[in-house]
Structures are given as structure tokens and as C-alpha cells.
Chain A
């Protein structure tokens, strides 16, 4: 299938992003950017527990995600009448190699939400947790990433440089 306008089709092909599978786990990859979506079952009563905890979980998101430092985007959804939970993330780099580190760094944050909610989740430090995440992950059928060759750390540095340059220019003028 091609676009009826050849000029637009040429742009489509020119802007097509190279997509690959994560080399060490589920999810697609464009440049440095990877995606993961995990869909699990919710335990009976888990919906109520989830709603009790989610406010504080949201408050702490900036702190814990800054410690991880490689996540561009992260969401948690409770859906299907409190029977299913979905966790999604867009992040930098490979999947499996950093899973241990993520669990070590942000384990307390996940443990403040998931026990008693997500079926199969005991605590972040359980050996079965990495397997649970891996087994319940779904690879995207389509994926787009803006500026895929720049990591979250690169963007943070560019922000600092941008601010500094603007300061210099504003001062000079």
C-alpha cells in the first residue's frame, strides 16, 4: 500500500524508523528507546487496595523515576472492572540487563503498590518477580519514538546546555 501522492510517500519512507526487537527481552526497540507493556491479573479486593495506595504512588513517581534515570514515560492502569492491571514504560537501553538494577533501586516504590493487587507479585526482591514481568509482557505491534537516539540523560544535559546558552545570549544582548 502506498500513499497516492508520491511526494508524501517519499516523506513516509524517509521518516520510517528502524524497528528491532529488544535483544534481551520483550518489547520493540528504536535507536536507544525501548517499550514495554505488562498486563497482569488483579486479585480479589485488589482494586480497593490499589485506589487506597495510588495517590501516594503518584506523588513519589518523580523521586523514584529520577533515581532510575532512564525512563521517559511510565503509566499504570487498573481496568476491566478492577480485574486487570497494565503497566507501561518507554525507557532507554536493553531490557533484561537492567531489570535487576531497577528492582533494586525502585523496589520499595513498587512494593508500596503491588502486593495484594497484582496476582503473582510478592515483593520486588522475590526471584519470581523478574519472571512475572517477563512472562506478562506484551510486545507492541506498532511503536514510534521521538528523537530515539537521545537518552533521558542526554535530554537532561541538553536542557542544561540550552538554558545556559540562553542565559549567555540574554546577558550579551
Chain B
């Protein structure tokens, strides 16, 4: 294999890229994140060696033979504990080295979302290695988990410290009631053709070793054998206060239609997924199901002031499309490949009081450059409004609320929705490295050679 893959038309090495990079969720989906602490680096390598043959690649991602996969990720601290060379560790992107907890002020993870309140461990609290399992049935999920357990059990090197199960709610929507996962970029080299409205991105925005939006080959830390076909995953566990969201809609609306309209204005899509852009006055679920229409819209010419899809709505912040054409922002540098999966049971329909049960969304953003992708979108577009001349105003659904809590809409007339509450709380997060399969092979072989020089468990 060449050291780097050059040329904009090169095909992705699908059989070397871990499956989660390209594979969408099964429908329905059942998954789990298992987080492990490295207690013994030597034993950990043995366990990882056992796991390697069972990891799923992105080969045949559009029509996989098996409706289930298992992938592995590492935190920077986890790689350090395993004994990776200090000079390679120092070459990781700064945000990955520091870890997401250290970036909390910049990302706006403050107050109840501050790292001191997190329930999911981060890298300095033991998140060293994680398995991600996704399957089309509970049985397949448990079968994959059994493979993982069999590989990683009976030796004390890795300690399971946290498990989070995810699964599609019976409503087939995320907990606030929205159909999600409608927007994803088309990756050059993935095969097929982009759907109308899909952002077309060079593969190096999401996979190391390929051309990116700046015309360079995206490179990782250390030798290319280690990072080629790998990427970074920015993982977030987001609690959703469903009762609070429902009460907010009720308290700020005169009737059920107004509640649905308000929810749509906050998201930018009606809860079926129908874009407000195509249907400003009512939900059209059949439109939401049409892949040729449900993502086919732009803002610059037809809606520059956000009179149809509010400027500050969630989808317009997470993906401004052409709305920032006259601004400094080059949106092609800030595209996200987003994987969301729900956790926790649904709050029964119509219930307006919280039941104390943890529920929410696990967001996994795949990005070759977390600083200019996930972190940029989170800090500049979700948790700030300057880019759309909205000052400190933030995303009405997931934004921080300590600086501003209002939101401008134009329907049924121009007015501000005030008193936006903290509908979501961050329960944990981390930046992780997802190696390619040959990169993982290289890592294990390399670490085995370095065994006598393995770093001590405690960081100085």
C-alpha cells in the first residue's frame, strides 16, 4: 500500500476503515458503548489482539452481509497508558491531547453541563478504550457484545467502567419527538451519487489519508501506517429534559398547532422531518420521507433573513448551507458527519412532569479535524449568535442558556420567544481516535515491541 493516497478521485479503502465511519444506523437500531480503563498495558494488548479479527470494516457498507458491527476507539490518555511513544502522542491535535473536559469553557459546557457534573467518564477519569456496538436487533447486539466480552474478559488488563445502551425508541424518533438523521454529507469516494441538497465533501474531512477541503492530505500523528484510514470521533452524551421541553411548548403556545409550529421553528424542521423551508405553515410527513426533497433546500436567495427557517434554528446553525456566503465562514471547512442514537426509555406521551429517568442522545461526530469541525460548530454556531448577527443568542434546543435565552421568529408574526430553558445537559464527552484496521494492527505490533518502555500508569 502507498504511504498516502493522493488524487481527488481515489476510492476509499473501505475494507480498512472501521464501519461506523460510513455505516448508517440500522432501522430499528440497538447499540451500546462500553468504556474500558487500562489497568495493565501488557494484558490490554493481548485483549485487543483478540478483538481485532472481530472488528467491522466499512466494506459493503451500503448492503452489509450482517446487520451489526463492532468498532473500537481510543482516548489520547488510553494510548499513553498503552505505551505509545511520547513524540507520537505529542503530535495528536491539541484538542484530542487535552480531551473534551479540558475544553469545556471554550465549548460552552458550563453550569450543569460542566465536567464536574458528568456521569460518563472522560479520559482522565478512566475512558481509555471503548467498544461501540450497533445492530438491527437486540439479539444481534447481544451477540456482538458477547464477542467483545469474550475477547476482553478473563484477563485483568482492561476494566469495564461504564456501559451505555442506545436504541431507537418505539416512536422511531429522538426523545423530543423529532425524526433525526436526515442530513449527512456525501463523501467523495463513498460510491453512488449525492442526493439533492447533500453537501459534497472530500473524504479527507472525515478520514485521514485523503484529500480534504483545503486541498491537503489529512494527516494524523506519527507514521502514516498508524493513522491512515483512521479518524477522530467527538463523542457527547446529552441528557434531554423531555418534560421541560413539552411544558415550554405548551406554555408558549395557544393550541396544539402552535406548539408544533414552535417546535418546528426551534428545529428548522417539523417533527416529522419535513423542512420548514418547503412547508412553512404545516407538517407534511410524506415530504419528510422523500430523500429527493427532504434535504433539497438552500437559504441565501430564498430566505436570507430567516423568515421561513428561522436564522437561529438548530438545523440552520448546525448546517448553514449557503446562508453564510457573504461572511468570513467557509462552511466547507466545518462539515460534520454526525451519528446520533437515543438512550433511555421514552417519557410517556403527554406526560409533562419529569420521572427522574435518564434519557437523551449519544452524539458521535466523525471529523478528521475536531477543532475546525465539531468544536467550531459547537462554539461558534451552536453556542454563539455573532455569525448571524444574533449576539449571544444560542441554539434554541441544545444551546447554553447562561448568556441569552431568546429566539427571533417571523411566524405568525415577527416576535421573540423568550425564556428558552436548558432543555439539554451534557452528561459526558470525549475526543477519541478511531484507527483504521491496519492502523490498529500497526499499533498493537508497535506497542508490543515497546513493551519494556511502556509508560507508567500514573501521569506525572
Chain A residues within CB distance 8 Å of chain B: 23-24, 32, 67-70, 92-94, 96-98, 100-102, 104-105, 125, 127, 149, 151, 153-154, 157
Contact = CB atoms under 8 A, between A and B. Distances in A.
A67 to B, nearest CB: 7
A46 B326 CA distance: 33
A32 B216 contact: no
B216 A127 contact: yes
B153 to A, nearest CB: 42
Contacts of A154: 389, 391
Nearest to A104: B330
Given A23-B105, A23-B106, A153-B386, A97 B376 contact: yes
Contact of B386 (A23, A100, A105, A151): A151
Nearest to B106: A23
A97 B379 contact: yes
B379 A94 contact: yes
Contacts of B386: 32, 70, 92-93, 151, 153
Contacts of A127: 216
Nearest to B369: A100
Nearest to A106: B328
Given A23-B105, A101-B333, A96 B371 contact: yes
Contacts, number: 55
B329 interface: yes
A94 B380 contact: yes
Interface string B195-224: 000000000000000000011100000000
Given A68-B328, A104-B333, A97 B389 contact: no
Closest 6 CB pairs of A and B: A153-B389, A104-B330, A23-B106, A68-B328, A101-B330, A151-B386
A154 B386 CA distance: 8
19 contacts: A24-B106, A67-B326, A69-B327, A69-B328, A93-B380, A93-B384, A93-B386, A94-B106, A94-B380, A97-B372, A98-B328, A98-B329, A100-B214, A101-B330, A104-B330, A105-B330, A151-B386, A151-B391, A153-B386
Nearest to A98: B328
A98 B380 CA distance: 9
B174 interface: no
Contacts of B215: 125
Given A23-B106, A125-B214, A153-B386, A97 B330 contact: no
Contacts of A105: 328, 330
B375 interface: yes
Contacts of B376: 97
Interface residues of B, number: 21
A92 to B, nearest CB: 6
B94 to A, nearest CB: 9
A100 B386 CA distance: 18
B320 to A, nearest CB: 12
Contacts of B371: 96-97
Contacts of A157: 389
Nearest to A31: B392
Nearest to B216: A127
Interface in B356-379: 371-372, 375-376, 379
Contacts of A97: 371-372, 375-376, 379-380
Nearest to A71: B328
B214 A101 contact: no
A94 B328 CA distance: 13
Nearest to A97: B376
Contacts of A23: 105-106
Contacts of A104: 214, 330, 333
A83 to B, nearest CB: 32
A101 B386 CA distance: 15
B389 A151 contact: yes
B109 to A, nearest CB: 13
A67 B105 contact: no
Contacts of B333: 100-101, 104
Contact of B328 (A24, A101, A149): A101
Given A98-B380, A157-B389, 14 more contacts: A23-B105, A24-B106, A68-B328, A69-B327, A70-B386, A92-B386, A94-B379, A98-B329, A100-B330, A101-B328, A105-B330, A127-B216, A149-B391, A151-B386
Contacts of A151: 386, 389, 391
A100 B331 CA distance: 11
